[in-house]
Amino acid sequence: MTTNIIDLPAVEYLLPGNRTCAGCGLAVAYRFILKALDGKAVMTIPASCLTVLGGMYPVSSVHVPWVNCTFPSTAATATGIAAGLRALGREELRVIAMAGDGGTLDIGIQALSGAAERNEDVLFICYDNEAYMNTGTQRSSATPKGVRTATTPVHGKQENKKDIIQIMEAHGVGYIATASPSYPGDLYDKVLKARDLKGMRYIHIHVPCPPGWAFPTRDTISLGRLAVETGVLALYEIVDGALSFTAKTKTIAKGGGKLRPLEDYLSAQGRFKGMGEEIVAEFQDGVRERWERFAARDRQSAGA
Partner 1 sequence: MGKDEDSKFLIITGNQALALGAKLCRVQVISAYPITPQSPVTETLSHYVESGQLKAEYVNVESEHSALSVCIGASTAGARAFTATSANGLAYMCEVIHWAAGARLPIVMGCVNRAMAAPWNVLNDQQDSMSQRDAGWIQIFCRNNQEVLDTAIQAFKIAETVYAPVMVCYDGYLLSHTVMPVEAPTQEQVDAFLPPYRPHTILDPENPKNINQVTLANPRLDERGVMCHGYMELRFLLEEALESARDTIVAVGKEYEEAFGRSCGGMLWEYRAEDAEVILVAAGSLASEASMAVDALRETGIAAGVVGVRVYRPFPKEELREALRDARLVLVFDKSLSYGNEGPICTDLKAALYGSESMPPVQGHIAGLGGRDIKAREIEAATRKALQNLEAGITTKPTEWLNCHI
Q: Are 8 and 195 a contacting pair, CB within 8 Å?
A: no
The one-letter amino acid code at 69 reads C
Q: Which stretch binds partner 1 (CB under 8 A): 88-96, 199-207, 227-235, 295-303?
A: 88-96
Measured distance CA(280)–CA(301) in Å, rounded: 31
Q: Which is nearer to partner 1, 114 or 270 (CB)?
A: 114
96 phi and psi, to 5 degrees? Answer: -115, 125
Please tell me whether residue 83 binds partner 1 under the rule CB under 8 A: yes
CB nearer to partner 1: give 58 or 255: 58
Round to whole Å and give the CA distance between 263 and 288.
13
Task: Tell whether residue 65 is a contact of partner 1 (CB under 8 A).
Answer: yes
Residue from the set 62, 98, 205, 268 that interacts with partner 1 by CB under 8 A: 62
Position 66 contacts partner 1 (CB under 8 A): yes
CB contact at 8 A, 10 and 190: no
The single residue among 11, 90, 135, 293 that binds partner 1, judged by CB under 8 A, is: 90
Asked if residue 41 binds partner 1 (CB under 8 A), the reply is yes
Pairing of strands 201-206, 123-128: parallel
Which one among 2, 18, 20, 44 touches partner 1, defined by CB under 8 A? 44
In three-state secondary structure terms, 37 is: helix
Say how far apart CA 130 and CA 162 lie, in whole Å: 10
Q: How many whole angstroms separate alpha carbon 103 and alpha carbon 132?
A: 9
Q: Kindly indicate which of the ranges 23-31, 58-66, 123-131, 283-291 contains the residues binding partner 1, using the contact rule CB under 8 A.
A: 58-66
Contact between 199 and partner 1 by CB under 8 A: the answer reads no
Catalog residues that contact partner 1 under the rule CB under 8 A.
Answer: 39-42, 44, 51-52, 54-60, 62-70, 72-73, 75-88, 90, 93, 110-111, 113-114, 117-118
